[in-house]
Structure 1
Amino acid sequence: MRLLTRVAVAVALLALGAGTAVASVAVHELGWALPLAVAATLLTLVALPAGWWTRLPFALGWTCLVAWVVGPRPEGDYVISSDVQGYVVVGLALLVLVLGIATLPRPGGRAREPDATGTAGERESAGIRS
Protein backbone atom coordinates (compact mmCIF):
# COMPACT_ATOMS: atom_id res chain seq x y z
CA MET A 1 0.00 0.00 0.00
CA ARG A 2 2.88 2.36 0.78
CA LEU A 3 4.37 1.91 -2.70
CA LEU A 4 0.99 2.56 -4.30
CA THR A 5 0.70 5.83 -2.35
CA ARG A 6 4.20 6.89 -3.41
CA VAL A 7 3.44 6.17 -7.06
CA ALA A 8 0.17 8.11 -6.87
CA VAL A 9 1.93 11.11 -5.29
CA ALA A 10 4.69 10.95 -7.91
CA VAL A 11 2.18 10.87 -10.78
CA ALA A 12 0.26 13.79 -9.26
CA LEU A 13 3.46 15.80 -8.86
CA LEU A 14 4.52 14.95 -12.41
CA ALA A 15 1.19 16.34 -13.63
CA LEU A 16 1.55 19.38 -11.35
CA GLY A 17 5.01 20.08 -12.77
CA ALA A 18 3.73 19.78 -16.33
CA GLY A 19 0.76 22.02 -15.52
CA THR A 20 2.99 24.64 -13.96
CA ALA A 21 5.21 24.52 -17.04
CA VAL A 22 2.19 24.95 -19.34
CA ALA A 23 1.15 28.03 -17.38
CA SER A 24 4.72 29.38 -17.41
CA VAL A 25 5.08 28.90 -21.16
CA ALA A 26 1.66 30.40 -21.80
CA VAL A 27 2.46 33.65 -19.98
CA HIS A 28 6.21 33.95 -20.60
CA GLU A 29 5.71 36.81 -23.09
CA LEU A 30 3.91 39.01 -20.55
CA GLY A 31 6.29 41.28 -18.68
CA TRP A 32 4.59 40.98 -15.30
CA ALA A 33 3.77 37.27 -15.55
CA LEU A 34 7.22 35.82 -16.21
CA PRO A 35 8.61 36.74 -12.76
CA LEU A 36 5.45 35.32 -11.22
CA ALA A 37 5.87 32.07 -13.16
CA VAL A 38 9.53 31.82 -12.13
CA ALA A 39 8.67 32.48 -8.49
CA ALA A 40 5.80 29.96 -8.49
CA THR A 41 8.02 27.30 -10.02
CA LEU A 42 10.98 27.82 -7.71
CA LEU A 43 8.87 28.19 -4.56
CA THR A 44 7.01 24.97 -5.36
CA LEU A 45 10.29 23.21 -5.98
CA VAL A 46 11.72 24.43 -2.68
CA ALA A 47 8.52 23.64 -0.74
CA LEU A 48 8.48 20.02 -1.88
CA PRO A 49 10.64 17.67 0.18
CA ALA A 50 13.68 16.37 -1.63
CA GLY A 51 13.26 12.84 -2.86
CA TRP A 52 12.69 10.40 -5.66
CA TRP A 53 8.93 10.43 -5.15
CA THR A 54 8.37 14.14 -4.45
CA ARG A 55 10.65 16.87 -5.83
CA LEU A 56 12.10 14.90 -8.73
CA PRO A 57 8.74 14.08 -10.40
CA PHE A 58 7.75 17.76 -10.25
CA ALA A 59 11.09 18.76 -11.79
CA LEU A 60 10.83 16.10 -14.50
CA GLY A 61 7.28 17.10 -15.38
CA TRP A 62 8.27 20.75 -15.66
CA THR A 63 11.44 20.11 -17.65
CA CYS A 64 9.99 17.49 -19.99
CA LEU A 65 7.09 19.72 -20.96
CA VAL A 66 9.39 22.66 -21.72
CA ALA A 67 11.68 20.33 -23.70
CA TRP A 68 8.67 19.13 -25.66
CA VAL A 69 7.43 22.62 -26.60
CA VAL A 70 10.84 24.16 -27.29
CA GLY A 71 11.07 22.57 -30.74
CA PRO A 72 9.50 24.04 -33.87
CA ARG A 73 5.82 23.50 -34.61
CA PRO A 74 4.62 22.05 -37.93
CA GLU A 75 3.77 25.56 -39.12
CA GLY A 76 7.41 26.58 -38.73
CA ASP A 77 7.04 28.87 -35.72
CA TYR A 78 7.96 28.28 -32.09
CA VAL A 79 5.96 28.17 -28.85
CA ILE A 80 8.87 29.60 -26.86
CA SER A 81 10.29 32.70 -28.47
CA SER A 82 13.99 33.26 -29.03
CA ASP A 83 14.19 36.41 -26.96
CA VAL A 84 15.11 37.15 -23.36
CA GLN A 85 11.83 35.77 -22.02
CA GLY A 86 12.22 32.53 -23.98
CA TYR A 87 15.77 32.06 -22.81
CA VAL A 88 14.64 32.64 -19.22
CA VAL A 89 12.11 29.81 -19.57
CA VAL A 90 14.68 27.44 -21.10
CA GLY A 91 17.25 28.40 -18.45
CA LEU A 92 14.66 27.89 -15.74
CA ALA A 93 13.96 24.42 -17.13
CA LEU A 94 17.63 23.54 -16.79
CA LEU A 95 17.75 24.99 -13.28
CA VAL A 96 14.65 23.03 -12.23
CA LEU A 97 16.17 19.81 -13.56
CA VAL A 98 19.50 20.42 -11.83
CA LEU A 99 17.82 21.26 -8.51
CA GLY A 100 15.56 18.22 -8.78
CA ILE A 101 18.52 15.90 -9.31
CA ALA A 102 21.11 17.60 -7.10
CA THR A 103 18.91 17.56 -4.02
CA LEU A 104 18.16 13.83 -4.14
CA PRO A 105 19.03 12.01 -0.90
CA ARG A 106 22.40 10.33 -0.87
CA PRO A 107 22.34 6.55 -1.27
CA GLY A 108 23.55 4.38 1.56
CA GLY A 109 20.96 4.88 4.25
CA ARG A 110 20.79 7.30 7.10
CA ALA A 111 23.54 9.00 9.06
CA ARG A 112 24.81 7.23 12.14
CA GLU A 113 22.98 7.82 15.36
CA PRO A 114 24.64 9.86 18.13
CA ASP A 115 25.14 8.09 21.41
CA ALA A 116 25.24 9.26 25.01
CA THR A 117 28.97 10.10 24.97
CA GLY A 118 28.77 12.46 21.97
CA THR A 119 28.00 12.37 18.31
CA ALA A 120 29.61 9.78 16.10
CA GLY A 121 31.43 12.48 14.12
CA GLU A 122 32.93 14.05 17.25
CA ARG A 123 34.11 10.68 18.50
CA GLU A 124 35.81 9.81 15.19
CA SER A 125 37.51 13.19 14.91
CA ALA A 126 38.91 12.74 18.43
CA GLY A 127 40.30 9.32 17.50
CA ILE A 128 37.92 7.41 19.79
CA ARG A 129 36.60 4.17 18.39
CA SER A 130 33.75 2.07 19.70
Structure 2
Amino acid sequence: MTRLALALALLVAGAAIGLAALVVHATAWGLPLGAAAAVAVLVALPPGVATRLPYALGLTGLFVYAARARPEGDYLVGADPRGYGLLLVAVVVLVGAVVSVPHRRFNAVDNGL
Protein backbone atom coordinates (compact mmCIF):
# COMPACT_ATOMS: atom_id res chain seq x y z
CA MET A 1 0.00 0.00 0.00
CA THR A 2 1.45 3.34 -0.96
CA ARG A 3 1.88 6.15 1.51
CA LEU A 4 -0.85 8.20 -0.16
CA ALA A 5 -3.37 5.36 -0.03
CA LEU A 6 -2.49 4.73 3.60
CA ALA A 7 -2.90 8.41 4.43
CA LEU A 8 -6.29 8.56 2.70
CA ALA A 9 -7.47 5.40 4.47
CA LEU A 10 -6.43 6.80 7.84
CA LEU A 11 -8.11 10.13 7.06
CA VAL A 12 -11.37 8.26 6.44
CA ALA A 13 -10.81 6.10 9.53
CA GLY A 14 -10.30 9.20 11.66
CA ALA A 15 -13.53 10.69 10.34
CA ALA A 16 -15.37 7.42 11.00
CA ILE A 17 -14.16 7.19 14.60
CA GLY A 18 -14.98 10.87 15.02
CA LEU A 19 -18.49 10.29 13.72
CA ALA A 20 -19.00 7.39 16.12
CA ALA A 21 -17.78 9.52 19.03
CA LEU A 22 -19.96 12.42 17.91
CA VAL A 23 -23.09 10.26 17.81
CA VAL A 24 -22.70 8.94 21.37
CA HIS A 25 -20.93 11.84 23.12
CA ALA A 26 -24.13 13.14 24.72
CA THR A 27 -24.67 9.96 26.74
CA ALA A 28 -23.00 9.35 30.09
CA TRP A 29 -20.80 6.58 28.72
CA GLY A 30 -20.35 7.95 25.18
CA LEU A 31 -17.80 10.69 25.75
CA PRO A 32 -15.36 8.54 27.76
CA LEU A 33 -15.73 5.69 25.26
CA GLY A 34 -15.23 7.98 22.26
CA ALA A 35 -12.23 9.66 23.87
CA ALA A 36 -10.68 6.31 24.76
CA ALA A 37 -11.20 4.98 21.24
CA ALA A 38 -9.74 8.09 19.59
CA VAL A 39 -6.65 8.13 21.80
CA ALA A 40 -6.17 4.35 21.61
CA VAL A 41 -6.08 4.40 17.82
CA LEU A 42 -3.65 7.32 17.88
CA VAL A 43 -1.32 5.46 20.23
CA ALA A 44 -1.60 2.23 18.21
CA LEU A 45 -0.55 3.92 14.97
CA PRO A 46 3.16 4.34 14.30
CA PRO A 47 4.38 7.94 14.42
CA GLY A 48 4.63 9.60 11.04
CA VAL A 49 3.26 12.10 8.58
CA ALA A 50 1.41 9.39 6.65
CA THR A 51 -0.05 7.65 9.70
CA ARG A 52 -0.94 9.63 12.82
CA LEU A 53 -1.34 13.01 11.17
CA PRO A 54 -4.02 12.03 8.60
CA TYR A 55 -5.94 10.15 11.30
CA ALA A 56 -5.88 13.19 13.56
CA LEU A 57 -6.86 15.52 10.73
CA GLY A 58 -9.83 13.32 9.80
CA LEU A 59 -11.06 13.19 13.39
CA THR A 60 -10.49 16.88 14.08
CA GLY A 61 -11.93 17.95 10.72
CA LEU A 62 -15.15 16.09 11.41
CA PHE A 63 -15.46 17.65 14.88
CA VAL A 64 -14.81 21.15 13.54
CA TYR A 65 -17.39 20.62 10.79
CA ALA A 66 -19.93 19.36 13.34
CA ALA A 67 -19.31 22.28 15.69
CA ARG A 68 -20.43 24.83 13.09
CA ALA A 69 -23.99 26.15 13.11
CA ARG A 70 -26.45 24.25 10.95
CA PRO A 71 -28.92 26.00 8.61
CA GLU A 72 -31.71 25.34 11.12
CA GLY A 73 -29.80 27.36 13.71
CA ASP A 74 -28.88 24.48 16.01
CA TYR A 75 -25.62 22.64 16.62
CA LEU A 76 -24.53 19.01 16.60
CA VAL A 77 -22.01 19.71 19.37
CA GLY A 78 -23.71 21.51 22.24
CA ALA A 79 -22.19 24.27 24.36
CA ASP A 80 -22.14 22.08 27.44
CA PRO A 81 -19.37 20.20 29.27
CA ARG A 82 -19.77 17.13 27.04
CA GLY A 83 -19.53 19.19 23.87
CA TYR A 84 -16.45 21.01 25.11
CA GLY A 85 -15.01 17.67 26.20
CA LEU A 86 -15.48 16.33 22.68
CA LEU A 87 -13.66 19.33 21.22
CA LEU A 88 -10.92 18.88 23.82
CA VAL A 89 -10.46 15.30 22.64
CA ALA A 90 -9.95 16.63 19.11
CA VAL A 91 -7.31 19.09 20.30
CA VAL A 92 -5.50 16.41 22.33
CA VAL A 93 -5.47 14.00 19.38
CA LEU A 94 -4.25 16.67 16.95
CA VAL A 95 -1.52 17.94 19.26
CA GLY A 96 -0.47 14.37 20.06
CA ALA A 97 -0.18 13.57 16.36
CA VAL A 98 1.82 16.70 15.55
CA VAL A 99 4.18 16.31 18.49
CA SER A 100 4.89 12.67 17.67
CA VAL A 101 5.92 13.27 14.06
CA PRO A 102 9.58 12.27 13.86
CA HIS A 103 11.87 15.00 12.67
CA ARG A 104 14.74 14.40 10.32
CA ARG A 105 18.23 15.29 11.34
CA PHE A 106 20.49 16.54 8.62
CA ASN A 107 24.21 16.24 8.99
CA ALA A 108 25.85 19.48 8.12
CA VAL A 109 28.98 19.04 6.07
CA ASP A 110 31.78 21.26 7.23
CA ASN A 111 33.46 22.69 4.18
CA GLY A 112 35.95 24.64 6.21
CA LEU A 113 33.98 27.86 5.95
Q: What TM-score does the superposition give when structure 2 sets the normalisation length?
A: 0.90
Deviations 1:25-55 (Å, cap 9, x if unpaired)?
A: 1111010121111100000000000000111
Count of residues in correspondence between the two structures:
107
State the 1:108 CA deviation.
2.1
Percent identity of equivalent pairs: 44
One of 31, 42, 45 as aligned partner of 2:42:
45
Deviations 1:79-111 (Å, cap 9, x if unpaired)?
A: 0011110000011111111011010001226xx
Query: Following superposition, which runs of at least 4 residues in structure 1 exceed 4 angstroms of deviation?
Result: none
- Aligned-residue RMSD, C-alpha: 1.4
Q: Structure 2 unaligned segments of length 5 or more: list them.
A: 107-113
**1:12 paired residue number:** 9
Distance 2:71 2:103 in 1: 43
**Structure of greater relative contact order (alpha carbons < 8 Å, 6+ residues apart):** 2
Distance 1:106 1:70 in 2: 32
Q: What TM-score does the superposition give when structure 1 sets the normalisation length?
A: 0.79
Q: Kindly provide the amino acid, as one letter, of the partner of residue 41 in structure 1.
A: A
**1:65 paired residue number:** 62
Q: Give 1 or 2 for the bigger CA radius of gyration.
A: 1
